[in-house]
Each structure stands twice: as C-alpha cells, then as structure tokens.
Structure 1
Amino acid sequence: MSIDLTSEDNSNTVRKSGWFELIRKEDWWAVWIGLFLVLTGILFWTTGHSIKVLTAQIPRWTDFQTLGGALSSHAGSTILLFVTYLILFSITAAFLRIKVGQFAAGFTLLFIISVAINIFSSWGWAQQYNLEAPIVALAIGLIAGNLIPLSGWFSSALRTELYVKVGIVLLGATLPFTLIIQAGPVAFLQATVIAVITFFVIYFAGTRWFGLDKHFAATLGVGGSVCGVSAAIAVGGAIKAKKEHVSISISLVVIWAVAAIFLLTFLIKLLGIPAGPAGAWIGTSEFADAAGVTAASSFGDHALNSFTLIKVIGRDIFIGVWAFILAFISITFWENKKSGTKADASEIWHRFPKFIIGFFAASILLTIFIAANSASGRAVINTDVIAPIKEFRTWAFTFTFLSIGLTTRFKELTSFGWRPFAAFSTGAVVNIILGYVLSVLVLQNFWASL
C-alpha cells in the first residue's frame, strides 16, 4: 500500500494515465453509476414513466400471508433492481480487472442475503425492537464472516468502497444543493476544528507518549481524523510510511469504525438525541464513510443528511490537501537525507476522492431539474424520481453494510502491539467527546432545524 507518490517516475505514470483513470478507478465508476441512475430517473419522468419500476421496497408485514402478498407484488421490481445493479457492477468489475463471472456469482448471493435482511427488518416484531436493516446486515456479516470461510468468488463481490461511494453519489441527488450551500460552511468549520484537534492528539500521543515513528503517528492521525481508510492510504503513500504501518492504521480504523457504529447508536438512543444532531455527531466522530452511513441510516433521512454534510463536505473533501501538506512536512522536516524529491501540488487532485464530484453533480442536477418545474410538478418528481433514487441508495448501502461485516476478521485486527492502539484510541475518545459537545450542545439547534 505504501507507494512513492513524490517520485518523478510515479508522477509521470499518473500523468500518462490521465484520461485512462476515468475507466480504471473505482471512484470514477461510482460517479458514472450514480449519475447514470439519476439521469435515468429524469429521463423516465420526462417520458411519462417512473424509475420506481426498477426499485423494490418491502413493506411492513406482521404475518406470512401479508409477507407472501408483498413479495408477490414486488417480485418483478425486485428482479429488475437485481438485473440493473448486476449489469452496472459487472461492467465496473470488468474495467477494474475483476473476474466478471466470479463477481456476478458473488453479487447474486450478496443480493439474495440483502433481500432476506430487508424482509426481516420489515417484520413488525423487528421494527418494534428497532432492528433496522443496517445494524442487522452488519451483525449478520460479522458473525458469518468470522465463522464461515468465504469462497474467493464470493469475496470478489464484497466491494465495500464501491457500494458506499455509489450510495453517497445517489445521496447527493436527494440533498438539495441549496441545503449544501446553507449548511456547508458550518459543516466545514465543525469538521475542521475536530479533525485538526484529533490529528494532533493522536500524533502527540503517538510520538511523545508511545514512542512511535513520526510517519507512523501521522498516518494514524489522519486515519482517525480525516477519512479513515482512504486518508491512511493516501497520506501513508505521500509521506513514505512503511506499508506495515499503513496496514496497522487501516486495521485500527476498521476496529474503531465498527465499534463506533454500536457505541454511537447506543448513546444517541440512550440520550434521546434528535436525528439532526445525531447525524452530525456521527459524521464528526465516525472513522469511515461506510460505517458512518450504517449508523446514521438507523435514524432516518434527517440524520443521514447532516452526517453527509459533515463527513463529505467537512472531511472527505480534503484528503488530497492533507496528503499534500504532510508530504511537504515529511520531505522538508522529517527526511534525514536530501532525496531530490519535492511535494507536488498536483497530488491534491490525484488524491482527491472523485466520488465527491458525483455527489455535488447529482445534487446540482436534481436541484436545477426541480426548480425548472411547477409546484405541482415538483410533488410528482419527489414521488417518481427522488423516492426511487432513495431506494437505489438504500440497497447500495445494504450491500455496504454486509460487505463490512463479511470482510472484517477479528483475528487479523489483533495482530499489532498495544502502542498504536493506545495512540489511536486516545484520539478517538477525544474525537467522540468533542463531536458530542459541538453537535449536540453547541450546534444542536442548527442541526435540528436543518
């Protein structure tokens, strides 16, 4: 995972790949898939139809007779949903050089399990005890993934990052751009304050208290403060951290991200925190997009919106900037010998999470489309375009939750010493506390009224 991002050879490779990366990068395929579904929804509506024919929402049921009727009436849309996602993801797999046959077989099984989870979560008894699909999917994934050996063909379909990025692009289509403009500055300020504090806490604890290498401590710091796995990989490569240090940072992010899903969900319900502030707290204090979406989805669209504003606008968007700044510091102050390298500002773009472009594009596209129609037309658009896109988003996130659980191995996450864990955990605790103070105490009214 540790790659030389500042060497001349690597820079030339990146420049040569230019347009080629548009079809070879997972981030870009998340953009293409998300925008394709959004544009399809608009096209269907303009021709007098609705994309909801391609989506499947399993209604609440209390007995098997009701369930049978619901499944029968939604069988066609469920099959169309499966075929749509299978085609789009299989095309992506082909360009990402994943064996398409294995991926298709694995995704078929993943989809079947996702349907079963949604059926269970729609059960009246499950809803009575708040057993939402995200938590159920994660729990089943964790149990199955750690007890049952997974075949290679199935593992090839567990593309957590792809699914969550597609979901985030689709989330942009359901989040008005005017809302992003309104809340963006506050989200950016809140996230920046906590990100900077968390980074320095982890870095200070790692270097001063636990004797970690500066490069290692910096990689841990961005993993716990900016954007989890993606930030650890980007910054680890930019500052030439040892690949085992990047791997340990990723493992710690996964451990805390999964733990935070249950911890934050429990605390929010225990304290009775409203959805808006709850989502902001999750967006501020979760360590990975997929895990944050899992937690925020449990509290509805309001929480998911505030989570996204904090996590995407406040944290994800600046991965490239952090990589550039720390690469400059590493080369200028940490390197003992002059290596002839220099920090290249183009790394800000190379490391920028491209799926965020899709998020903004989808938001702008739908906002303009809605504004161009009458008030009566907007109500129909909400039913025939936005609601189905939300269903596509929900299924993409379900694939994400399952993939997180199925790919998390508890044994592998305990293979490192206590010092990195202690340093990261110190920052994680500070992060969660500060996140609560800002989201629930200081800015509660803002996030609640969003």
Structure 2
Amino acid sequence: MSDVAISSAKQAVTKGNLTEDWLALVIGVLVFALSLFSLGGIDLLGWAVTTSVYTDLGKALAPVAKGYAALGGLGSLAATYVSLLVVLTAGVAALGGDIKRFILAFTIVFAIAYASWIVGSYAYIAVVTPADQQKFGISWSLKLTNEGGFIVALVAGLVIANIFPRFAEWLKEAIRPELYIKIAIVILGATIAVTAAGRLNLASSILLRGVAAIIEAYLIYWSVVYFVARKWFGFSREWSVPLASGISICGVAAAIATGGAIRARPAGPVLVSSLVVVFAVVEILILPF
C-alpha cells in the first residue's frame, strides 16, 4: 500500500480525539462493565428489547429481563433506541462527525433495521420445526428462522441504494459498519471469555478447537486465498488481506477487523463484507433444501 493510501486511510478513520478502534473498545468494555452488575443481582441492561417469533404483532417485542416487564415491548424498544443514540452520538462527536446529521440518519437506519428484524421474525417466515408450526397454528413456513430479517434488511438496502441514491448517500453518516462490528467483536469476545471461565470443560474445548481452527484457517485457508487473490486476480495487498480473512476465518467480522488492523481504506472491507452477506443469503435460501 502506498504512503498516500495509508495517509488517506488514517484520515478516514481518525477524525477526532479517538480512533475508531479505540472507540469500539471503549464502548464494548462499557457495555461489558455494566453487565457485570448482574453478578450482584443488579440488572442494568435488562431493559433492552428482544424480538420473539410471533403471529400476533403485539407479542413480538419485550424487554430482555422480566424485571423490566412494566416497560412493555414498545417501551423497551424506545429505551434501546435512546441508549444507542446517546452512546453512538458521543462516539461520532469524538470522531469529529456531523452530530445533527448522524442523529437524523441513525434514527431512520434504526427504524428500517429493526422493522426488518421484526418482519423476519414473523412465524410464516421464521418457524422451522413442525412442532413450532403447530404451536403457532400455521400450516407452512419459509423456515428461515428469525435471521430471515437479514434478507428483509438486504432487500430494503438494495431498494434504497438503487431507487433512492440521494437518500442512500444522505444516510451514510449513520452507516458505519466497521465501527458497529468492532463494538460487537469486543462484546462477543468478553462474553465468550466469561462463559468459558465459568465452565472448565467448555474452556478446554474452546482452546482445543481454537488451536485447530488457527492452524486450519490461518496457515492453510488464509494463505491459499491470499495467494490466489494476488497471483491469479491481481488484487492489491489492501484488498487481498481483508478478502483472505473474510473467506478463511469469520466472514464479516474478520474482514472488518483485518481492514482496520492494516489501515485499509473503508471501501475494501465493506465490499468484502457485502460479498460475504450476499453469499450467506443465497446459502440461507438454498441449503435448507
């Protein structure tokens, strides 16, 4: 990668007082720290919204913890939106972003994203087993699980991007896939660590499988994909590295994390992530058969 590319990448990521990587770490650790209060019987995050498979829309949403049942589904959804908006707006301010535009754009993106997830959780789309079909009183289902919401979101994104390009451009201030995925990686890593620490058998299994996965993914698949991308397709290192990570390790998360580590311009990891999502959607539709 040329010095100019490296410089532009750094400027794209670092616009304020924090880098995107450090911001993701701070937010992820903050969420993890708040979750630790539950060890003392104080649930500070139980108000977050969760979505269940449903036929009655009024029963689709609920707080994660029963102790916050008084909030109701819409109340927990509102609390989730407000908390995300406050934390992420502070982060965008630290990165030097346009706060007013982010607030407006994030509100719209959040509404579209969660509406897609709710649609994907509809029983006729999500239910998988015959027992669950009987439970909900339905005779058929697409059997996509509630992850069918990803397909709905993908379709919504394609419609907006291709039919309303100016609107899509305006929304870009709130569409920060690298930041969101990095935050998720930090939280997921902390969750796995705590779970493994509490279960010795699980911890040993994770360590054993982790070593095997490292040897397989890093030493075999990664190097093969990188070689093919460079030798046969003529991709630059900036594109080949996230591509190799995305294919060999862990899809979107690996591509985004690797792109940030090598200071790649955002376009590369984002396009690799889009490629992964497209193939995942195709697999979701085809593999059940």
TM range (shorter): 0.5 to 0.7
Aligned-residue offset at 1:197: 3.5
Aligned-residue offset at 1:88: 0.5
Match of residue 187, structure 2, among 156, 163, 170: 170
3-state DSSP class of the match of 1:57?
A: strand
- Residue identity opposite 1:107 in structure 2: F
Paired position in structure 2 for 1:142:
158
Match of residue 63, structure 1, among 18, 37, 56: 56
Paired position in structure 1 for 2:139:
none
Aligned-residue offset at 1:125: 1.6
Q: Give runs of aligned pairs for residues 262-273 of structure 1, distance below 5 A.
A: 262-266=281-285, 268-270=287-289
Distance of aligned partners of 1:63 and 1:97 in 2 relative to their CA distance in 1, 3 Å threshold: same
- Residue identity opposite 1:62 in structure 2: T
Aligned-residue offset at 1:158: 0.3
Aligned-residue offset at 1:258: 2.9
- Residue identity opposite 1:154 in structure 2: L
Paired position in structure 1 for 2:34:
40
Match of residue 256, structure 1, among 259, 264, 275: 275
Contact 2:241 2:258 in 1 (8 A): yes
> Does 2:151 match 1:158?
no
Aligned-residue offset at 1:84: 0.8
Amino-acid identity (%):
24
Contact 2:52 2:61 in 1 (8 A): no
Paired position in structure 2 for 1:118:
117
Q: Which has the higher helix share?
A: 1
Deviation by residue 1:387-424 (Cα, 9 ceiling, x = unmatched): xxxxxxxxxxxxxxxxxxxxxxxxxxxxxxxxxxxxxx
Distance of aligned partners of 1:62 and 1:153 in 2 relative to their CA distance in 1, 3 Å threshold: same
Q: Quick one: distance in 1 between partners of 2:17 and 2:282?
A: 38
Match of residue 228, structure 1, among 249, 255, 272: 255
Aligned-residue offset at 1:122: 2.7
Q: Quick one: distance in 2 between partners of 1:69 and 1:22?
A: 37
Q: Quick one: distance in 2 between partners of 1:209 and 1:165?
A: 31
Paired position in structure 1 for 2:19:
25
Q: Quick one: distance in 2 between partners of 1:89 and 1:259?
A: 27
Q: Quick one: distance in 2 between partners of 1:233 and 1:53?
A: 32
- Residue identity opposite 1:164 in structure 2: I
Q: Quick one: distance in 2 between partners of 1:193 and 1:225?
A: 13
- Residue identity opposite 1:63 in structure 2: D
Q: Quick one: distance in 2 between partners of 1:204 and 1:160?
A: 27
Distance of aligned partners of 1:86 and 1:209 in 2 relative to their CA distance in 1, 3 Å threshold: closer
Q: Give runs of aligned pairs for residues 373-384 of structure 1, distance below 5 A.
A: none
Aligned-residue offset at 1:91: 0.5
Deviation by residue 1:329-386 (Cα, 9 ceiling, x = unmatched): xxxxxxxxxxxxxxxxxxxxxxxxxxxxxxxxxxxxxxxxxxxxxxxxxxxxxxxxxx
Q: Quick one: distance in 1 between partners of 2:230 and 2:123?
A: 52
Contact 2:230 2:237 in 1 (8 A): no
Cα RMSD for the two superposed structures: 3.9
Aligned-residue offset at 1:190: 2.6
Paired position in structure 2 for 1:101:
100
- Which of 1 and 2 has higher RCO (CA within 8 Å, sep 6+)? 1
Q: Quick one: distance in 2 between partners of 1:199 and 1:69?
A: 42
TM-score by length of 2: 0.67
Aligned-residue offset at 1:134: 2.7
3-state DSSP class of the match of 2:275?
A: helix
Distance of aligned partners of 1:198 and 1:217 in 2 relative to their CA distance in 1, 3 Å threshold: farther
Q: Give runs of aligned pairs for residues 351-366 of structure 1, distance below 5 A.
A: none
Aligned-residue offset at 1:230: 5.0
Aligned-residue offset at 1:82: 1.1
> Does 2:30 match 1:3?
no
Q: Quick one: distance in 2 between partners of 1:110 and 1:77?
A: 18
Aligned length: 246
Unaligned runs of 5+ in 1: 15-19, 238-242, 271-450
Contact 1:40 1:51 in 2 (8 A): yes
TM-score by length of 1: 0.46
Contact 2:51 2:61 in 1 (8 A): no
Unaligned runs of 5+ in 2: 64-68, 128-141, 246-253
